[in-house]
Structure 1
């Protein structure tokens, strides 16, 4: 039996079943992100609140690539930055703590938080007008995405209050000149939000690259579509999206 399996078995035995399932889902999100090329090598981070009464959340060990992350390698920390469990001993990305702890502290409903530095996300984040209502994917975020101005590498704790203020009650935030961030009540919902935001950014850059005049959707039409998406979220249709991806992952179809 390999050391990795022994470590996994040992950790699974000493954490609750709920925590272990949270670890499994978060690690799956990381591997899916690697398959979808949403990564910035060892940088960027996803987090998930640990079920229970304690304000703990799981995040990636600093130095692992997304495809290496497994349930047993995730780091458990509290919202003050204290490491509760670090099986690899690698610690965490300090910027990841600043961003994720701010949201987990301020938004108890945001159980999962995902942050990326994709080319498309950075590209749109650097555009003054931000996300344009030019695709069905973008309408998902009609008047439902916030913007946070770039302040440098996110290492200053006083930036947390501005991140939280700019996100507000939303589940999508474009970090200017930086990247994308989504949240949700579950890993499945946050992943669904990130999928649509990333696709909307990809579509925007593709449309702009053609050089033709863009067709901006009227507010009423964009809002109608956005409300349809919201109904899907209320009905948890994002679970179908997640389950389909997990099936693809399990059969190596990505």
Structure 2
């Protein structure tokens, strides 16, 4: 069995890769938003980005280890974190043992759907994967109040995807690969809905029995612990070609 230090480095490399890929696919927001990953070992320690770095600058070694109270565990010049990021991510990590990675974004499409009363609709195969499995959290202002953590955790429940109303998107996963898989496809679902509705045309949804059948098909794959690993390996090969310093 690999020791905690080796496991930590692997998690650091995967999380740094996720930051680079979020930027690569246009899902970043300057230095805002955040991705985190739970570290092995005792206690609730997780990695978060140093506040002030662009996502395409993040490296495995630049990630900050944060304790449950939001303090950097190793002080250095780049150890400042986004306090709103801590509130959101600690809410999940402290209440969901299976949520080893949490991703939060402020994309145009994600925020557009977060502002729509009906939320995400099952308009396409991508969004049907999440049909009936999305939670929603009401907007309370900038997430600086530690008291909001309880409500964030309650609203997420056992779901892997949450739409933060008037704010953005949040996904979790048992691995960085799974959390990224969820974010990539929920983002694509939001983009498709915005595109399908922006012209004012009447939209249609599959029949209820077809939705139920498709959801059941997706659930077979969602239960697998290797979910998202194959595309993740391919994406990391892309990074090795175009942005290899992520793993430094």
> What range is the shorter-chain TM-score in?
over 0.9
2:57 match: 68
Q: Structure 1 residue 90: deviation in Å?
A: 4.0
* Stretches of structure 1 lacking an aligned partner (at least 5 in a row): 1-14
| CA distance in structure 2 between the partners assigned to 1:42 and 1:186 by the alignment | 23
SS of residue paired to 2:231: helix
Out of 141, 157, 167, the residue aligned to residue 178 of structure 1 is: 167
Where do residues 37-116 of structure 1 align in structure 2 (5 Å cutoff)?
Answer: 37-116=26-105
| CA distance in structure 2 between the partners assigned to 1:30 and 1:56 by the alignment | 19
1:22 match: 11
1:195 aligns with 2:184: yes
SS of residue paired to 1:201: helix
Deviation by residue 1:195-223 (Cα, 9 ceiling, x = unmatched): 11000000000000232100122333223
Q: Mark the CA change 1:225 to 1:87 in structure 2 (over 3 Å): closer, same or farther.
A: farther
Aligned length: 239
| CA distance in structure 2 between the partners assigned to 1:20 and 1:238 by the alignment | 20
Alpha-carbon contact 1:74-1:87 (below 8 Å) kept: no
Q: Mark the CA change 1:86 to 1:140 in structure 2 (over 3 Å): closer, same or farther.
A: farther
1:248 aligns with 2:227: no
Compute the RMSD of aligned alpha carbons: 1.4
Q: Mark the CA change 1:23 to 1:88 in structure 2 (over 3 Å): closer, same or farther.
A: farther
SS of residue paired to 1:143: coil
Greater RCO (CA < 8 Å, at least 6 residues apart): 2
* Greater displacement, 87-96 / 201-210: 87-96
Q: Structure 1 residue 89: deviation in Å?
A: 2.8
Q: Structure 1 residue 87: deviation in Å?
A: 4.2
Alpha-carbon contact 2:34-2:103 (below 8 Å) kept: yes
Deviation by residue 1:136-162 (Cα, 9 ceiling, x = unmatched): 111011110000111100001111111
| CA distance in structure 1 between the partners assigned to 2:119 and 2:75 by the alignment | 38
| CA distance in structure 2 between the partners assigned to 1:185 and 1:214 by the alignment | 34
TM (norm. structure 2) is 0.93
